[in-house]
Structure 1
Amino acid sequence: MLERLGRGRRFYWLVFFALTACLAAETLQRGGALNPLDQRLQDFWFQWQGKRAEARHVGIVALDEDTLAAYPDDPMIFWTDRLAVAVARLRQAGVKVIGLDMLLSISPERWLGKLGGDLQQAARDYDRVFREQVNSGQLVLASTRSGSGGRETDYLLPSPDYLLALPDFDIPGYVALADLLDEGDGVIRRYLMAPVAVADRRPLEGSVPVLGLPSLIAVRVGGMNPRGTSWVLGGRRMEREQPPEPIPYMGPPGTFPRISLKQLLADDALNDPNVIALRGKAVLIGATAAGLNDEHFTPYATRLFSGRGILMSGVELHANVLEALLAGERMQPLENGLRVFTLLLLTALAAAAFVALPVWAGALLWSLHLPILALAGFLAFRFGILVPVSVYALATALALLGVLGWRLTGEERERSRVRQMFGRYVSDQVVEALLKSGTRPELGGQSQTVTVLFSDIRNFTTISERLNAKEVVEMLNTYFERACAPLLAEGGSIDKFIGDAIMVEFGSPLPLADHAIRGIRAAIALQAVAEEFAAWMAKRFADRDLPKFAVGIGLHSGEAVIGNIGSPTRMEFTAIGDTVNLASRLEGMTKEIGCVILASETTVVEAGREVVCGRSEVVKVKGREEAVRVFEVLNVEGGEKDA
């Protein structure tokens, strides 16, 4: 009954710890408090994974250092003629849609026109070829915005010369926002289909860009209406107003195939295998040269502790988003229901383990499970699922702290009390078994089958008369120290020391099926200890004319009342009853019969045939009407206890 109650209380505490830890961790996770930890860990997963796959839908034309070196004296504002050539050749090569990841807010014609005179006349047709490419419907221009995007002045658009060249003057259909979504720490991890909130841009509907640069290009590649509210891209339905999506980066900077703008401007560019390979793809033209300051922090640039990695150019960042849209790739957060279920399951298992283990072992287990959690998260990451590892780690940590607090305030005190009560009298194995059983000794007692052993020192009165008090204490302490070892080794519970006598129970406080043979083995071992101690006595008190040191041992098996006997203010865990009395009487009769170990027939039969006995007698003992058959115990066949 006590065991069931103990287990019931433990179960309820376990449920309480698991639910409380899960609730606290889930609340913090939903509130975003754990995001920085998960983001850094997921950054590390990107770095650890390296290149995930080959880009199949997107290519990059890079305005790189080689291109800048080929035209060192030309300001970038006058590069529209070269951009026109590049766009024309990409169209000839069979590219579906071209995105210009460069903000052309000033045209060469307007800039030269301000100078007047011959320059104004010369600039009149400078951009005609580029405007023709804009009007082709295959080129998407870039813009940006500041502030909320709720006013027209918040948007920095391409030059009016280029806007007028758009097919049907369709700004939302051919001009995109190149803005990136900053997570707050400067690292780009997610993207939006429409970077400006619908409430802010609604008054400006039709006159300002709506979709992000990769989003608009993907919609154009699919031949769909950019003014729609949803599209099927790469087999996935994408909503214009959907929440931010994690970017499934294809790999670290340099992963995407790219050709230099200089290479595309060469006379034989259309025969270049790298240009031919762009057929059927979407292509982004953008700056990769370091001096053009279009570089950003991505998961590949962060570090868990310190330092930073390589930055990624804006055009490659947009290429990653565009490839994900066209290929239907996504990094999907773990579904809420599955997350909560697995969180409860793991926390419950952890709490159960922490309750069963010592505190240090529980803390070690928690430390060891962290890399396993991280590895499981990485494996899920490989399948496109983002697992918030921190919420699991926090929940199990809270469960561990809860168990620790419970032990410090209640359970651990109880365990310490049991250890203090029994630790000096029974072996450590018996104490641990008692603690694990869930039973606790209470005031009163219960009937239990045990074997009781009494041992007494022969001629103790004579010895104590010839030694002074200090020497008597020295003798007893030395003997008892040696005598207790074999008794505890057999699982005995040392009940008490009565002067020079020892009272021991086998099968208490926890029942033992083989209590009788354990008691006999302990008696034989105790006899050997007494014989060795006789030599110590002879040497230590050689000049005292002491009688030879010897002991008498009595054993009896049967029912006894075991428990805390006494009052609430002073109690003692002991055994009482006829079994105890008879064992004590048999110890006293060893002198009359002339043997060292005297056991009742009950004990010998219970112990089994391996007990080697000497003489046998039927004796009457004081205080008992019924005669008792007793046996002199000589040895146990095999000599060693069973494993």
Structure 2
Amino acid sequence: MRSKLKKLIWEWRGLLITAPSIAGLVIISRAAGLLVPFELAAYDQFFRLRPLEPIDSRIVIVGMTESDIQKIGRATLSDELLAELIEKLKQQQPTAIGLDIFRDLPEGTGAQKLAKVFQSTPNLIGIRKVVGNGNDAPINPPPVLNKLGQVSASDLPLDADNKIRRYFLYLQTKDSKIITSFGLRLAEIYLKKLGIVAKPSAVNPNYLQLGKAVFIRFQENDGGYVRTNAQGYQILLNYKGPANSFKTVSVTDVLDNKIPPDSIKKRIVLIGSTAQSKKDFFFTPYSNTLIGIPDETSGVEIHANVISQILSAALEGRPLIQSWAEPLEFLWIFAWSVVGAAVSWKWRYAGGVANFSFPSVVGILLAGGSLFAICYLAFLSGWWIPFVPPALAIAGSAIAIISYIAYSAGGIRQVFSRYLTDEVVATLLETPEGLKLGGERRKITILLSDLRGFSAVSERLPPEKVVEMLNIYLAPMTDVIAKYQGIIDDLIGDAVLVLFGSLTQRVDDAERAIACAVAMQQAMISVNEQLERVGLPKIQMGIGINTGEVVVGNIGSQKHAKYTVIGSPINLASRIESYTVGGEILISEATLKDVGDIVQIHKSMEVQPKGFDEAIAIHEVNGIAGRYNLFLSREEEILISVQEEIPIEFRLIQGKRIDDRLLTGSLVKLSVNGGEVRSQYLVEPLNNIKIKLLIPTETGEKLGDLYAKVTGILTDGTAGFYIRFTVVPPDMATMFSRMITDASGR
């Protein structure tokens, strides 16, 4: 269980690190207030995208327009005209009249008349400015209405971008007196006619309840706000629509009796300025500040929106805008950070190491679209769910994963280079043609090395020891190959396929291949010393080299391909290598021609490789002169006659198959690496044989199998052949060493 958990953690390490880190950064940024402008902009966009709602017929605005100002000849209504206007409105029996005009002092001879109208209109509500906005100071209410208790607060809370998104239900004056807001006071008059009165909510006595609605008090960190002034009883303003969303008639139309009878009966009438010159206009969420001149909404219409919101919520259950508690918002941000990280991490390499994958891009876009859809649908239901912080969490997680991929690309390239040379990696990753399927014909030199009798050796060792042996062997070999600019095309167990000229052809490809082969054989001395130190058996390597024209390129399919070579020269190199014994390098005639006189040949021979119609010449290399000046040290081995001939049985090895025929003979001479066999059965040189010694041991145990390659036929007229050992079991090696010592001391 623990290992599975550890594996799972490793597999999803990117998500486990990225998601909480990015979420933490976003949450900190949000708490610092850095995201407030962006979240408010997204909030405004939801308003603009929302379908328009029907006009609220319960509210009528009587507006002082620019045309009215021109007709009246002054910017404000005189006390006399205002009294006349209210009287004409009273005749149509509105439920309530809201006077959104500051009138703290009398304006002339009509003051007494206006005072009488105020006194005779109990459903008329005037305004006062309690706290003011910006540089505005508080403004006192009309004295008569103030004495009658028919005054409310018209203050509007401005956000930092000068937009109105909130509204006061109640305000507190400097002398701690609670003042009801203009919109709430008029709405209460309307609702009282229907038997609905304000009362504390059963859920929270600090919240106001009107009919079906509970007005949850705005807090300083609600929605996208951070540490906003939440003094007074504020709510988020759920606008009915953009400017001009309410029925409006002009002041002069009312004074001239041009409005239809009963057009304002049982309605709430708001009297205010709608003329731009009066500068009683504000920005709202519908004021798009990105394109063109932003639209503004008159103050009287903002109050109309508040009244409409209160009435619709109380009577019809229209949603009020609410927000989540901060812990839930933090969890929401973290969840989307997980989504962004999971999508990016899951398909991080689907497009390759160097490219962010198409599934990841699609996944990120779908995640962003889903987030927007959820937030928008929630907004339509009255919930302000954060959009910008989780969107940043998604984008931040994706960017973090992309950055990690970009950072790790170097590491991946380094790991990749353990399987291909830097030259191949550069070709695959950095050239337009590198990853295309297909290939081209090219003349190259192929080097194939193989350990002699490694299969038999590995059978006697645990798998861990076999791997250790291969690593000890391959480490210096790959260094030598890289030094001579060879490209390791494949590691097939103990065999190494190396190409010279597959990517970039050079005139010295064959020379470098032979020099590399000699250096590899020289490196086997240190390899065997290291194997001996760790208690592993010594090994020997044979190398075959051929030069020819092959097809080089990416072979495979779009899902899996390999950069390799195809052609008969590869097969011939493999055949040549199969003729080698330990410490030997054999090259083809084609390679010899490419190299010329600088290569030193120990001996040459003709062979008939399997699958080839004609015999070919192969040459054993002793070294290479010129700028390389590398040569193999050769000690002439002396065969010592054993005191008693050793009877043997042997079988021919044909490729990977051991022949069924059991042949007999005797081992008459020995050296450290080979021997002389007398047998009536003639075995052609370069054939591999499996030998069993037919002698008892001191312990009575059977001796292991001995593997060898026939190196030549006896030349003294005696039937038999010479062999070179490829695999000698430890017990047999000890016995041979003792026999040679005894025979030498005779």
Could you say which TM-score interval applies, normalised by the shorter chain?
0.5 to 0.7
Write the deviation string for residues 112-144 of structure 1: whole angstroms up to 9, x where unpaired.
xxxxxxxxxxx2x64324533355221111122
Structure 1 residue 247 corresponds to structure 2 residue 231: no
Q: Are residue 214 (structure 1) and residue 183 (structure 2) matched?
A: yes
Residue 116 of structure 2 corresponds to which residue in structure 1? 131
Structure 2 residue aligned with 1:157: 140
What is the CA-CA distance between 1:107 and the residue it aligns to? 1.3
Partner of 2:164: 188
Q: Which residue of 1 aligns with 2:286?
A: 300
Distance in 2 (CA, whole Å) between partners of 1:468 and 1:236 is 88
Partner of 1:127, secondary structure, is: helix
How many pairs does the alignment contain? 474
Counterparts of residues 386-401 of structure 1 (less than 5 Å): 386-401=384-399
Structure 1, residues 187-244: CA drift from partner, whole Å, max 9, x if none?
A: 11111213x4x4xx363527xxx22221222233333889997542352133787663
> In the alignment, does 2:307 pair up with 1:322?
yes
Where does residue 342 of structure 2 map in the other structure?
A: 352
Task: Kindly indicate which of the two structures has a greater share of residues assigned to strand.
Answer: 2
1:47–1:306 distance in 2 versus 1, CA, 3 Å: same
CA distance in 2, matches of 1:76, 1:62: 11
Unaligned stretches of 5+ in structure 1?
Answer: 110-122, 433-441, 458-466, 504-533, 542-546, 554-584, 591-618, 628-643
Q: TM-score, normalised by structure 1?
A: 0.60
1:95 and 1:281 in contact (8 A); partners too: yes
1:333 aligns with 2:303: no
| Gap change, CA 1:390 and 1:242, over 3 Å in 2 | same
Contact kept in structure 2, 1:58 and 1:323, CA below 8 Å: yes
Give the aligned partner of residue 106 of structure 2. Answer: 107
Aligned equivalents of 1:412 and 1:586: distance in 2?
Answer: 46
Residue number in structure 2 paired with 1:463: none
User: What's the offset of the Cα at 1:314?
Assistant: 1.0
Q: Structure 1 residues 203, 492: closer, same or farther in 2, change over 3 A?
A: closer
Moved more, 52-61 or 400-409: 400-409
For residues 11-30 of structure 1, the C-alpha deviation after alignment (integer angstroms, 9 at most, x for no partner) is: 35523322232233223334
Q: Quick one: structure 1 residues 403 and 230, their matched pair in 2 at CA, closer, same or farther if it must change by over 3 Å?
A: closer
Aligned equivalents of 2:557 and 2:65: distance in 1? 86
Counterpart check, 1:284 vs 2:270:
yes
- Deviation, structure 1 residue 146: 4.8
Retained in 1: the 8 A contact 2:126–2:145?
A: no
Distance in 1 of aligned mates of 2:380 and 2:405: 40
Q: Is the 8 A contact 2:14 2:345 kept in 1?
A: no
Q: Partners of 2:610 and 2:292 in 1: how far apart?
A: 77
Q: Residue type matched to 1:416 in 2?
A: R
Aligned twin of 1:420: 417
Could you say if the C-alpha distance between residues 285 and 445 of structure 1 is closer, same or farther in structure 2, counting changes exceeding 3 Å?
farther
Q: Larger relative CO (CA 8 A, sep 6+): 1 or 2?
A: 1
Residue 479 of structure 1 and its aligned partner are, at CA, apart by 4.4
Give the conservation status (yes or no) of the 8 Å contact 1:216–1:226: no
Q: Secondary structure at the match of 1:128?
A: helix
Counterpart contact for 1:220–1:226, Cα < 8 Å: no
Identity %: 18
1:263 aligns with 2:249: no
Please state how far the C-alpha of 1:323 moved relative to its aligned partner.
0.7
Mark the CA change 1:451 to 1:39 in structure 2 (over 3 Å): closer, same or farther: same
How far the C-alpha of 1:284 sits from its partner, in A, is 1.1
Counterpart CA distance in 1 for 2:655 and 2:122 is 112
Amino acid at match of 2:169: M
Q: What is the SS of the residue equivalent to 1:192? A: strand
2:372 to 371, 374, 377: 374
CA distance in 2, matches of 1:301, 1:320: 15
Any residues of structure 2 matched to 1:552-563 within 5 Å, and which?
A: none
| Residues 85 and 6 (structure 1), Cα distance of their counterparts in 2 relative to 1, 3 Å cut | same
- 5+ residue gaps, structure 2: 201-205, 218-230, 349-354, 429-434, 436-463, 470-490, 499-507, 515-544, 577-587, 595-605, 613-652, 659-686, 693-703, 707-746
The equivalent residue for 1:113 is none
Q: Judge which range, 366-375 or 48-57, deviates more.
A: 366-375
Q: Which residue of 2 aligns with 1:506?
A: none
Kindly state the Cα deviation for residue 2 of structure 1 after the two structures are TM-superposed.
Answer: 8.6
CA separation of 1:103/1:250 partners in 2, compared to 1, >3 Å: closer, same or farther? same
Backbone CA RMSD of aligned residues: 5.3
In structure 1, what is the equivalent of residue 76 of structure 2? 76
The 2-side partners of 1:469 and 1:193 are apart by 92
TM-score (normalizing by structure 2): 0.53
Residue 177 (structure 2) aligned to one of 201, 205, 214: 205
Cα 1:586–1:182, aligned 2, differ >3 Å: closer, same or farther?
Answer: farther
Contact 1:146 1:155 in 2 (8 A): yes
After TM superposition, give the deviation of residue 491 of structure 1 in Å. Answer: 7.0
* Aligned-partner SS, 1:82: helix
Q: Verify: 1:500 aligned to 2:573, yes or no.
A: yes
Q: Distance in 1 between matches of 2:383 and 2:128?
A: 33
SS of residue matched to 1:43: helix
More helix by share: 1
